[in-house]
């Protein structure tokens, strides 16, 4: 059967890797191509770039980052951040990205999911959802987690699945940066109805958190950033830990 | 010198396939030119052809038909001259007689079989991620000799009419053909260009055919 995927996520700003702690306080941590290559050689199953550049000009830098990465890295590459049109998607896929993740643009205009999925195939359309709990329900946030919407996360995910999303990248804003584990309650609720793969994101701080994300959260893939970037945990350690606990993992 | 043409008919990420072959050539000192092209003259002069494919079956077939004479030239290459041909993902599926994806659509019909939806009630689709590809016993082929993990993204599979055309199988709910082959024609359901070193090894095997 298909293996559980371990995905390091690199936040990229103006062509350089940075990492956000709770979406704020950025620290520069290197060259995206070198980092992607390093992760690929160390067992990453996919790479995710999240473009957090503020301006459109700097987003064009991302296309060349993707192109340079595709020369060196031969595992799937997902690119997200600020994607707002079919033209953006086309440029990134043409540059060598395998999937794009759409977030705020889908909230503004849900039809972009249908359009993109019809045009490029649903396998390359990931919908990223940033969710935060308030009053016993999870709400969707847009614009990198800065704007609360009135969308309920569970309803929204069901809707984007019906619109043709190929995969969901679900970040818990409550957990992100806390190193207290994934929001397995949220993940398992989504897993109950989801028919497309689910990537868990936000909160991982130790090896057992990865395990819980699979067993309790029922996620198909596990995404992490800072624990990998600051060498607190290596991808090899995660894979060994999960394999020893009978999770199906790629060698 | 070898010349590999990756057929360009408007399908998704073809750059990665080109870059994989360039990387293999560089690492192994193989003298090869790797083009992304839909020119009939390039198809004609090639030593190897790669047919990529992403998205819907019908969209891919229509993309091929859009360039006048392209399918005829590919037939000449693969069926008459019998030169090495590799279909990847939907490029593999197009080798079949027909597909049931969003209606019924005719394929190239080079390897007998039908493209069907992966069966299973609780199966997540697309089948996305790394999965084990197991070569079928007693069928020698140039692409793969040992079982290994490769990266898949698909919801439909190649149901081969002739089991002799199945070179490797993978399990996702059911066992399905992950590599098909018939003489000089190969098809892989997964993405070797996205399957790390084992994927590049498979493509190296194809260049050496």
The domain that contains B54 carries what CATH number? 3.40.50.880
Kindly report, residue by residue over B82-95, the tens digit of the pLDDT: 999 999 999 999 99
pLDDT at res. A249: 97
Domain count, chain B: 1
Say whether residue A167 is in contact with chain B using an 8 A CB cutoff.
Answer: yes
Please check the confidence at residue A28 and state whether its pLDDT lies above 70: no
Return phi, psi of residue B97, to 5°. -70, -40
Q: How confident is the model at residue A23 (pLDDT cuts 50, 70, 90)?
A: very low
Q: A250 in a domain, yes or no? A: no
CA distance A134 to chain B (A): 30
User: Where residue A139 sits, what CATH number does that domain have?
Assistant: 3.20.20.70
Of A3, A120, A122, the CB nearest to B129: A3
> Which residues form the domain of A128?
5-244
Please check the confidence at residue A151 and state whether its pLDDT lies above 50: yes
Q: A137 in a domain, yes or no? A: yes
Say whether residue A63 is in contact with chain B using an 8 A CB cutoff.
Answer: no
**ipTM, interface predicted TM-score of the complex:** 0.92
Mean pLDDT of A136-161: 96
Q: A225 in a domain, yes or no? A: yes
**C-alpha–C-alpha distance, residues A110 and A149, integer Å:** 14
Under DSSP, the state recorded for B145 is S
Of B12, B127, B149, the CB nearest to A121: B12
Interchain proximity A98–B15, CB inside 8 Å: no
Interchain proximity B55–A197, CB inside 8 Å: no
Query: Whole-prediction pTM value?
Result: 0.94
Kindly report, residue by residue over A54-88, the tens digit of the pLDDT: 666 667 789 999 999 999 999 999 999 989 999 99
Q: Which residue has the higher pLDDT, A245 or A136?
A: A245
Domain count, chain A: 1
pLDDT at res. A21: 38
Of A18-22, A150-154, B182-186, where does mean pLDDT reach its minimum?
Answer: A18-22
CA distance B73 to chain A (A): 25
Is A176 one of the catalytic residues?
A: no
pLDDT at res. B13: 72
Task: Say which of B89, B101, B127, B154 is annotated catalytic.
Answer: B89
Q: Which residue has the higher pLDDT, A228 or A4?
A: A4
pLDDT at res. A52: 86
Report residues of chain B scoring pLDDT below 50: none
> Which residues form the domain of B92?
2-208
Is A11 one of the catalytic residues?
A: yes
């Amino acid at each position: 059967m298909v293996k559980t995927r371990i995905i390091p996520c690199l936040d990229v700003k103006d062509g350089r890797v940075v990492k956000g702690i709770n979406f704020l306080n950025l620290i520069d941590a290197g060259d995206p191509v070198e980092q992607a290559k390093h992760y690929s050689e160390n067992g990453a199953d996919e790479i995710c770039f999240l473009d957090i550049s503020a301006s459109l000009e700097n987003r064009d830098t991302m296309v060349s980052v993707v192109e340079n990465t595709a020369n060196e890295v031969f595992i799937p590459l997902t690119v997200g951040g600020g994607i707002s049109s079919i033209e953006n998607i086309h440029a990134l896929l043409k540059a060598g990205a395998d999937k794009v993740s759409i977030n705020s643009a889908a909230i503004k205009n849900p039809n972009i999911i249908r359009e993109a999925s019809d045009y490029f195939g649903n396998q390359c359309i990931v919908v990223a959802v940033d969710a935060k709990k308030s009053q016993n329900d999870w709400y969707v946030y847009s614009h990198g987690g800065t704007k609360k919407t009135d969308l309920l996360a569970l309803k929204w995910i069901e809707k984007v699945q019906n619109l043709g999303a190929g995969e969901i990248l679900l970040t818990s804003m409550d957990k992100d940066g806390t190193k207290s584990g994934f929001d397995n309650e949220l993940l398992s609720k989504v897993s109950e109805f989801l028919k497309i793969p689910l990537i868990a994101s936000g909160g991982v701080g130790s090896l057992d958190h990865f395990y819980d994300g699979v067993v309790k959260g029922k996620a198909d893939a596990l995404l992490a950033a800072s624990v990998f970037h600051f060498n607190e945990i290596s991808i090899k350690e995660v894979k060994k830990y999960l394999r020893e606990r009978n999770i199906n993992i790629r060698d | 010198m070898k010349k590999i043409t990756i057929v360009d008919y408007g399908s998704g990420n073809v750059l990665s396939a080109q870059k994989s072959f360039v990387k293999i050539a560089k690492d192994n000192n193989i003298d090869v030119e790797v083009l992304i092209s839909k020119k009939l003259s390039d198809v004609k002069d090639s030593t190897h052809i790669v047919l990529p494919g992403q998205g819907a079956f019908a969209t891919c077939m229509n993309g091929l038909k859009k360039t006048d004479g392209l399918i005829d030239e590919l037939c000449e290459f693969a069926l008459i001259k019998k030169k090495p041909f590799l279909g990847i993902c939907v490029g593999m599926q197009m080798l079949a007689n027909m597909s049931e994806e969003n209606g019924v659509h005719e394929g190239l019909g080079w390897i007998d079989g039908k493209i069907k939806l992966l069966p299973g009630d609780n199966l997540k689709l697309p089948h996305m991620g790394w999965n084990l590809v197991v070569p079928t016993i007693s069928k020698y082929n140039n692409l793969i000799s040992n079982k290994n993990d490769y990266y898949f993204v698909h919801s439909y599979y190649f149901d081969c009419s002739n089991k002799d055309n199945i070179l490797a199988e993978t399990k996702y709910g059911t066992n399905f053909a992950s590599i098909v082959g018939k003489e000089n024609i190969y098809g892989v359901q997964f993405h070797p260009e996205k399957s790390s070193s084992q994927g590049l090894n498979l493509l190296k095997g194809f260049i050496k055919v």
